[in-house]
Chains A and B, each alone.
Chain A
Amino acid sequence: MARQGNGEDRELDAPPLVAMRGIAKRFGDFVANDGIDLDIRAGEVHALLGENGAGKSTLVKILYGLLQPSAGEIAWEGRRVVLDNPVAARSLGIGMVFQHFSLFENLTVAENIAAAMAQDLSLAAIAARVTEIGARYGLALDPERPVWTLSAGERQRIEIVRCLMQEPRLIVLDEPTSVLTPQEAERLFETLERLRDQGTAILYISHRLEEVRRLCTRATILRLGRKVDTLDPRAVSARQLAAMMVGAEVGEVRADIGPAGAGVLEIAGLSLPPGGVHGVALKDVSLDVRAGEIVGIAGIAGNGQSELFAALSGERRADHAGTIRIGGVDVGLDGVNARRALGAAFVAEERLGHGAVPAHALSENIVLTRHAESELTWRGFVMPAAARGLADRVRKAFDVRAGRGDPAAATLSGGNLQKFVVGREMTRKPRLLVVNQPTWGVDAAAATLIRQALVDGAKEGAAIVVISQDLDELFEVSSRIAVIHDGRLSPPRPVAELTREVVGLVMGGGESGHAR
């Protein structure tokens, strides 16, 4: 039986603002939502909790009219409605803040907002309203700025202001804090609390349990497309919530790394021009990583992480050979293969398309990064049996669940493919491993396995660089943490000396109590 949240008794007579009943959604054989019920009341912050693949995004896409349910119905204030596109949802008063922002990089803030408005307002009128709403809710924005010049936090503000322009009665936020610093997240919570107090209903999708317990009075938990329960998240522990989401107790990473050894990676004054039109330049980056330690690199997306990864992996060359040294050898001007030959291994951020070729079989993807090993190739010819054998060993060692035989990379789920690309590099026993966003968009069990593999790798003497946006992850595995902001890397400091707040401030570009 569902436990009750705040104000339940008072509002029992009135129908909920939104009632979703028996919602099901099938994509072919795959059941994304299976008979889900969800009530949202005016003036409440309702959490939707679940792992990746639990069906949260599908459910809210149905609520926003982007997907049509295969079965079930939606009632708005007790009346049945059919939401066949987002325009219909918006006209009822449903607003949505997407996880991957639905913004147009080359258009201005005002144009981005105008594109989603029902009425045909002039850009000047929109700019005025943006300023007015910005002042009322503390969401400052410059209407004339093109979006590509803005930070993730500012982009999210556009999405929220765009929602508020239509005076919504229900706002859906999909993983809103995943791209924010802790300080930016705190400001978002204040805005949401203000909206809630004005009677706006908020559906808050997250997998960060502490946030949910801080903000929400009711939570609906989904697992594998089904509803587990609706309850008051403050009445149970974060651990219990996690167990309900995953369906089992989540293991913890044992991060008992010993003292670090000799230096393996040395970066001295690395500067690189931006890679593309919207890229970030690296400015005088220096870092030493020793054997047996994990150095975490924190930062908000788009602050030079991909450029740093490209420079370390050799996809982009440095100006001088001595700028980057691996095991005492100058490699700044060398390519990926030369660096791999020195015992380095790299795991790119995008597993499909960068880390693995989607349409190629797993064994073929093994050959892509490990072709230099004598086992896999003979005088330029690939040895398919050996490649398949190695792929099978990686699959066994990293618990990669994939189809029968030798399936294509694209057929694996995100978590399984990530385990595979990490495993492909880790089973080499690399001397240096650079990994960018190791557990991005991966389920909790896979994330734990990958983090444990990183820790174990360091214990066996590898020097490891973990670039991640997930502060919890970095605090879990790192020996030292550095922060990248606008292409500059702060000096790394031991984890014991750091708090999330301190790291968060540097991620936002401030040194101390700077609360923009």
Chain B
Amino acid sequence: MTLVEAVILTVITAATPLLIAAIGELVVERSGVLNLGVEGMMAVGAACAFAGAVTLDSTFGGFVAGAAAGMALSLVFALAVLGVAANQVASGLALTILGLGLAGVIGAPFVGARRDPIMQLQVPGLTDIPLIGRALFGQDPIVYLSFALVLAVFWFLFRTRRGLTLRAIGEDHASAHALGLPVIRMRLLAILFGGACAGLAGAYLSLVYTRFWSPGMTGGRGWIALALVVFAAWRPGRALAGAYLFGLASVLQLHAQAGAIRLPSQLLSALPYLVTIVALVILAARDRRATGAPASLGIPFVPDR
């Protein structure tokens, strides 16, 4: 395996959880809800997935457990922000704190356990192509799922009637309600989808990226996913580009630290964040139309009855 191939493979592994979490949050924010609890839902997803996989001795079972746990936690958030129209920022932050705490409790008995590597695609002939063979045809199912998610979300948002309804609700929930669009129901479904994505992203961390569980293992990736959504101007394609750019930069800076580059390691560690922000800001600045957040983002909706 050449160095370039190794870099490509680690980039994919680093980018996949970010991409899945970001694409979930993108749908939530397009519906006009700001869920700052991504980090917490990822942490719980990681812990439940690992616990589930060890207990059931099934990696697939682990992924299901992770996604279900993320979704369950997001339901708590939905009850607060949709049920009683609580402040979304405060509820999201509380969700993160709750999630990190819960994850610690759930994961503690499993510290020290390890899981085997996940099954990866093997296409005779294709997978053995040098350089790109393993990157394109030798990945685990979740990587392919993450790409399918981007496509599906794009198609849903911009090509289907329900996607239009969701975007309209995110733009102006009062108008949407006046037209009889189901504001609360769409938002609930979006929040649950976002929770499942965050849980799945966490599961990928503990089952594929590290293959063990340790406290605080999400390491702020939930926040990165949130930032990606904003800098991607709420567009699925750009979230994909942003996640991979971030993955690339973080892998390169690791190599740079290991190599001979004489820069403080803190500076290098900050590099991926800087590169991602700069790149996405440039993209956004070129296209003025696309920089607008959904106009109802973060505003509680209270219909008068």
Chain A residues proximal to chain B, CB less than 8 Å: 27, 65-68, 85-87, 89-90, 96, 98, 101-107, 111-112, 114-116, 120, 146, 277
Task: Give the complex CA separation of A66 and B175 in angstroms.
Answer: 11
- Does B305 make an interface contact (CB < 8 A)? yes
Return the 6 tightest CB-CB contacts between A and B, nearest first: A86-B180, A102-B175, A104-B171, A102-B178, A87-B180, A115-B168
Task: Give the complex CA separation of A103 and B177 in angstroms.
Answer: 11
Number of interchain pairs (Cβ within 8 Å): 60
Given A87-B180, A115-B165, A120-B161, do A105 and B304 touch, yes or no (CB 8 Å)?
no
Given A68-B305, A114-B161, A277-B292, do A107 and B180 touch, yes or no (CB 8 Å)?
no
A110, chain B: closest CB distance, angstroms: 10
A60, chain B: closest CB distance, angstroms: 11
Task: Give the complex CA separation of A372 and B292 in angstroms.
Answer: 39
Task: Give the complex CA separation of A67 and B171 in angstroms.
Answer: 22
Given A104-B175, A105-B172, A106-B171, do A115 and B164 touch, yes or no (CB 8 Å)?
yes
B292→A65 contact, CB < 8 A: no
- In the complex formed, the residue of A with least CB distance to B174 is A102
| Residues of B147-195 whose CB lies within 8 A of A | 161, 164-165, 167-168, 171-172, 174-181
B180→A104 contact, CB < 8 A: no
B167→A107 contact, CB < 8 A: yes
Interface 0/1 of B270-305, CB less than 8 Å to A? 000000000000000000110010010000000011
Task: Beyond the given A67-B304, A102-B179, A116-B180, please list 7 additional residue pairs across the A-B interface where CB-CB is below 8 A.
Answer: A86-B179, A102-B175, A104-B171, A104-B175, A106-B292, A112-B168, A115-B165
A105→B164 contact, CB < 8 A: no
A97, chain B: closest CB distance, angstroms: 11
Given the complex, which residues of A lie within 8 Å of B304, measured CB to CB?
Answer: 27, 67
Task: Give the complex CA separation of A98 and B171 in angstroms.
Answer: 17
Given the complex, which residues of A lie within 8 Å of B305, measured CB to CB?
Answer: 67-68
A111, chain B: closest CB distance, angstroms: 6
Given A67-B304, A111-B164, A277-B292, do A116 and B171 touch, yes or no (CB 8 Å)?
no
Q: List 28 A-B contacts (CB under 8 A).
A: A27-B304, A65-B180, A66-B177, A67-B304, A85-B180, A86-B178, A87-B180, A102-B172, A102-B175, A102-B176, A102-B178, A102-B179, A104-B167, A104-B172, A105-B172, A105-B295, A106-B171, A107-B164, A107-B167, A107-B168, A115-B176, A115-B179, A115-B181, A116-B179, A116-B180, A120-B161, A146-B289, A277-B288
Given the complex, which residues of A lie within 8 Å of B177, measured CB to CB?
Answer: 66
Task: Give the complex CA separation of A146 and B167 in angstroms.
Answer: 14
- In the complex formed, the residue of B with least CB distance to A103 is B175
Given the complex, which residues of B lie within 8 Å of A277, measured CB to CB?
Answer: 288, 292
Task: Give the complex CA separation of A301 and B22 in angstroms.
Answer: 39
Given the complex, which residues of A lie within 8 Å of B171, measured CB to CB?
Answer: 104-107
Task: Give the complex CA separation of A89 and B178 in angstroms.
Answer: 12
A127, chain B: closest CB distance, angstroms: 14
Task: Give the complex CA separation of A119 and B178 in angstroms.
Answer: 18
- In the complex formed, the residue of A with least CB distance to B293 is A106
A55, chain B: closest CB distance, angstroms: 14
Given the complex, which residues of A lie within 8 Å of B172, measured CB to CB?
Answer: 102-105
Given the complex, which residues of A lie within 8 Å of B288, measured CB to CB?
Answer: 277
B10, chain A: closest CB distance, angstroms: 38
- In the complex formed, the residue of B with least CB distance to A114 is B164
B87, chain A: closest CB distance, angstroms: 16
B181, chain A: closest CB distance, angstroms: 7
Task: Give the complex CA separation of A250 and B172 in angstroms.
Answer: 38
Q: Chain B interface mostly helix, strand, loop or mixed?
A: helix
Given the complex, which residues of A lie within 8 Å of B174, measured CB to CB?
Answer: 102
Task: Give the complex CA separation of A106 and B174 in angstroms.
Answer: 15
- In the complex formed, the residue of A with least CB distance to B178 is A102
B191, chain A: closest CB distance, angstroms: 21
Pick the contact of A104: B161, B168, B289 (CB < 8 A).
Answer: B168
Task: Give the complex CA separation of A112 and B178 in angstroms.
Answer: 13
Given the complex, which residues of A lie within 8 Å of B181, measured CB to CB?
Answer: 115-116
Given the complex, which residues of B lie within 8 Å of A68, measured CB to CB?
Answer: 305
Given the complex, which residues of B lie within 8 Å of A96, measured CB to CB?
Answer: 178
Given the complex, which residues of B lie within 8 Å of A120, measured CB to CB?
Answer: 161
Task: Give the complex CA separation of A116 and B169 in angstroms.
Answer: 12
B178→A98 contact, CB < 8 A: yes
A66→B168 contact, CB < 8 A: no
A90→B180 contact, CB < 8 A: yes
- In the complex formed, the residue of A with least CB distance to B168 is A115
A269, chain B: closest CB distance, angstroms: 27
A402, chain B: closest CB distance, angstroms: 23
B88, chain A: closest CB distance, angstroms: 20
Given the complex, which residues of A lie within 8 Å of B167, measured CB to CB?
Answer: 104, 107, 111
Task: Give the complex CA separation of A101 and B180 in angstroms.
Answer: 14
A41, chain B: closest CB distance, angstroms: 25
Task: Give the complex CA separation of A86 and B178 in angstroms.
Answer: 7
Given the complex, which residues of A lie within 8 Å of B179, measured CB to CB?
Answer: 86, 102, 115-116
Task: Give the complex CA separation of A120 and B174 in angstroms.
Answer: 22
A375, chain B: closest CB distance, angstroms: 39
Task: Give the complex CA separation of A65 and B295 in angstroms.
Answer: 25
B32, chain A: closest CB distance, angstroms: 11
Task: Give the complex CA separation of A146 and B292 in angstroms.
Answer: 13
Given the complex, which residues of B lie within 8 Å of A89, measured CB to CB?
Answer: 180
Task: Give the complex CA separation of A308 and B194 in angstroms.
Answer: 43
A371, chain B: closest CB distance, angstroms: 30
Task: Give the complex CA separation of A103 and B178 in angstroms.
Answer: 10
Task: Give the complex CA separation of A116 and B176 in angstroms.
Answer: 9
A119, chain B: closest CB distance, angstroms: 9
B295→A106 contact, CB < 8 A: yes
B292→A66 contact, CB < 8 A: no
Given the complex, which residues of B lie within 8 Å of A90, measured CB to CB?
Answer: 180
- In the complex formed, the residue of A with least CB distance to B181 is A115
Which of B165, B180, B288, B292 has the largest number of chain A CB atoms within 10 A? B180
Given the complex, which residues of B lie within 8 Å of A87, measured CB to CB?
Answer: 180
Task: Give the complex CA separation of A105 and B178 in angstroms.
Answer: 15
Which of A27, A103, A115 has the largest number of chain B CB atoms within 10 A? A115
- In the complex formed, the residue of B with least CB distance to A112 is B168
Given the complex, which residues of A lie within 8 Å of B176, measured CB to CB?
Answer: 102, 104, 115
Given A106-B292, A107-B168, A115-B168, do A66 and B161 touch, yes or no (CB 8 Å)?
no
- In the complex formed, the residue of A with least CB distance to B162 is A120
Given the complex, which residues of B lie within 8 Å of A85, measured CB to CB?
Answer: 180
| Residues of B23-46 whose CB lies within 8 A of A | none
Task: Give the complex CA separation of A120 and B180 in angstroms.
Answer: 15
Task: Give the complex CA separation of A104 and B295 in angstroms.
Answer: 9
Task: Give the complex CA separation of A86 and B161 in angstroms.
Answer: 18
B265, chain A: closest CB distance, angstroms: 41
- In the complex formed, the residue of B with least CB distance to A162 is B179
Which of A96, A98, A102 has the largest number of chain B CB atoms within 10 A? A102
Task: Give the complex CA separation of A89 and B288 in angstroms.
Answer: 38
A56, chain B: closest CB distance, angstroms: 16
- In the complex formed, the residue of A with least CB distance to B291 is A277
Given the complex, which residues of B lie within 8 Å of A98, measured CB to CB?
Answer: 178
Given the complex, which residues of B lie within 8 Å of A66, measured CB to CB?
Answer: 177-178
Which of B172, B174, B178, B179 has the largest number of chain A CB atoms within 10 A? B179
A273, chain B: closest CB distance, angstroms: 14
